[in-house]
Structure 1
Amino acid sequence: MSKAKRLLDILIFVTAKKKFTAQEIADEFHISIRTVHRYILDLCDMGLPIYAEQGRNGGYTVLTSRLLPPILFTEEEAASIFLAFQSLNYYRSLPFDTEITSVAHKLYSSLQSEAKIKVDKIRSYIDFWNPKRMIDAPFLKDVLEHSIENRNLHIQYESKSGMRKKHIRPIGVYAHDGLWYLPAYDYHKKKILLYRVDRIHSILSTEKSEDEFMNLKEWFNSHEVKNPIRLHVRLTMEGVRQCKSVPYFDGFVVTQEDGTGYIDTIIDKGELSFITSLFLRLGSHARILEPKELIVGLRKQAEEILTMYQDEN
């Protein structure tokens, strides 16, 4: 039997057993104690955390029970994993940053030379660009773990009105445009709000919740228009092009034969403040027909800008 096969068998044996002695491995695999010690050193070098207990009744303990047995990947599968890792390069904060680095190192080290060349080429010729944010989100991993553990949070949060204490029920976290967001139920305002994870300054306390609540996937699929309002916009050719590159307008833009287009859909009234800035950037390439509240909001922002740049003379 090859050494690699023997190591794999021993790895599966010790991770399942958790606590063991060298004699148990020797008896199980019909090898000498000296050979067992060499294999244990090899497993430690591979990253298996094994603690040796000294003394008459000593032995070994695997320090974690969450290890997975080795998985064999094809070159294409390994390349796809590195491609997924590469998509995270532009995020300053990640919930499992150290672990991702460790996985990438282990996987790359296990590849044959031809596969390493392929992975290196992929890294050089394809990327997933996001704006490189310099903002830290130190509580990202904590918030994610508390969401999974069904815990309520008391946090210090920096909002537009200043530092505030919040009592929330986190739903999960998601990344967008280089930043991390936390949808959560606000117990004071009695509704789900969206928070920036990097604006959480501290977690003051947590408490286990007995009630089940929706998770992030369910929240994404449960978008409900509570205050419906019609959004009707005429677009130039350039307006069509720009709107199609904005995720919010995905599926709303209708393109006509001459290249111009329009948006005619129902949105939630609560989203008007968000889309006002989107249409302000479009300028004359988008003409709002409805709702009037959006037109008023655009005029107000435009007047504020004009006032700021008025010629003092």
Structure 2
Amino acid sequence: MSKAKRLLDILMFVTTKKKFTAQEIADEFHISIRTVHRYILDLSDMGLPIYSEQGRNGGYTVLTSRFLPPILFTEEEAVSIFYAFESLNYYRNLPFDTVISSVEHKLYSSLQSEAKIKIDKIRSYIAFWNPKRTIDTPLLNDVLKYSIENRNLHIQYDSKSGIRKKHIRPIGVYAHDGLWYLPAYDYHKKKILLYRVDRILSILSTEENEDEFMNLKEWFNFIEVKNPIRLHVLLTMEGIRQCKSVPYFEGFVVTQEDGAGYIDTIIDRGELNFITSLFLRLGSHARILEPKELIVGLRKQAEEILTMYQDDN
């Protein structure tokens, strides 16, 4: 049996047992104690965190249960995994940012020269682009951690009306358009609101919860409409194109045979402020029929812009 195969077998054996003696390995693989010690030194040099204990009841302990045995990938699999990491490069902050960089480096370094040349060439022809934001999100890891741990948070939040203290129950975090968002239950307003993670200035304290709450996946599948209102909009071909590029709208767009189309759906009234700016950007490519509140909001914003640019002469 080759040394590489023997090392792999011993690695899988010790990571399963966690605590073992040299004699156990010698008996399992029918090798000498001296050979066992050489193999353990080799595994330690490879990065396996092994702690040795001297004495009558001594032996070896693998210091972490999260160390994985080697996984064999084909070249195509390795390239696809590498580009899964590359797709995250345009985000300024990521959960586990240092770990992701370390994994990416290890994966690239382990590839054969042909695969490295392939990756280097592909880099010149493909990118998973998001707007490169200069805004820091220093509390991203903490917010994600407390979401997973099912904790309430008392935070300081930089809202449009100024810095406010919030008591929230986070659901999870997601990235969109280069920014990180946190849907969370607001105990004061008694509903789920959407927060920008970069606007969380500090986490003042946390509280444990005994009961379970919905997670991010469940929230995406169930967004409650408490105050329903009809959204009915006629769209030109350009309006169709632009609406399909906005995640909020794309599931509502209906395209007709002539290329034009419409949106006719039910939304929550609380979304009106959010979508007003989206429709203002569409200009004449979207004609709103309902609701009247949205038309009034668009007229108000348009008048404010006209007033700002009035010619005094």
Structure-1-length-normalised TM-score: 0.92
Measure the CA separation in 1 of the matches of 2:48 and 2:312: 71
Measure the CA separation in 2 of the matches of 1:234 and 1:199: 36
Alignment-mate amino acid for residue 87 of structure 1: S
Measure the CA separation in 2 of the matches of 1:165 and 1:114: 55
Query: Residue in 1 aligned with 2:163?
Result: 163
Measure the CA separation in 2 of the matches of 1:243 and 1:209: 40
In the alignment of these two chains, the number of paired residues is: 313
User: In the alignment, is residue 69 of structure 1 matched against residue 69 of structure 2?
Assistant: yes
Q: How does 1:1-313 map to 2 (within 5 A)?
A: 1-53=1-53, 59-313=59-313
Measure the CA separation in 2 of the matches of 1:20 and 1:287: 73
> Is the Cα–Cα contact under 8 Å of residues 150 and 212 in structure 1 kept in the other structure?
yes
Measure the CA separation in 2 of the matches of 1:38 and 1:118: 37
Measure the CA separation in 2 of the matches of 1:184 and 1:220: 12
| Range that drifts further, 215-224 or 48-57 | 48-57
Alignment-mate amino acid for residue 193 of structure 2: L
- How far did residue 142 of structure 1 move? 1.5
Query: Identity, % of aligned pairs?
Result: 89
Query: In the superposition, relative to structure 1, how do residues 44 and 138 fare at CA in structure 2: closer, same or farther (>3 Å)?
Result: farther
SS of 1:218's equivalent? helix
User: Where in structure 1 do 4 or more consecutive aligned residues deviate above 6 Å?
Assistant: none
Measure the CA separation in 2 of the matches of 1:208 and 1:3: 50
Alignment-mate amino acid for residue 42 of structure 1: D
- How far did residue 264 of structure 1 move? 1.9
- How far did residue 55 of structure 1 move? 6.5
SS of 1:192's equivalent? strand
| Range that drifts further, 13-22 or 302-311 | 13-22
Measure the CA separation in 2 of the matches of 1:179 and 1:127: 18
Which whole-Å deviations, capped at 9, do the CAs of 1:114-154 have from their partners, x for residues lacking one?
Answer: 33333333333222100011212112112112111111111
SS of 1:12's equivalent? helix
- For structure 2, the residue ranges without an aligned partner over 5 or more in a row are none
Alignment-mate amino acid for residue 167 of structure 1: H
Measure the CA separation in 2 of the matches of 1:165 and 1:61: 46
- How far did residue 218 of structure 1 move? 0.5
Query: In the superposition, relative to structure 1, how do residues 233 and 29 fare at CA in structure 2: closer, same or farther (>3 Å)?
Result: same
SS of 2:101's equivalent? helix
Alignment-mate amino acid for residue 94 of structure 1: L
Alignment-mate amino acid for residue 205 of structure 1: S
Measure the CA separation in 2 of the matches of 1:78 and 1:284: 48
Calculate the aligned-residue CA RMSD, in Å.
2.0
Measure the CA separation in 1 of the matches of 2:143 and 2:53: 36
Alignment-mate amino acid for residue 211 of structure 1: D
Query: In the superposition, relative to structure 1, how do residues 36 and 124 fare at CA in structure 2: closer, same or farther (>3 Å)?
Result: farther
SS of 2:124's equivalent? helix
Structure-2-length-normalised TM-score: 0.92
- How far did residue 58 of structure 1 move? 5.1
| Range that drifts further, 288-297 or 147-156 | 147-156
Which whole-Å deviations, capped at 9, do the CAs of 1:195-228 have from their partners, x for residues lacking one?
Answer: 1111112222212101111111110001222212
Alignment-mate amino acid for residue 84 of structure 1: A
Measure the CA separation in 1 of the matches of 2:300 and 2:131: 29
| Range that drifts further, 200-209 or 16-25 | 16-25
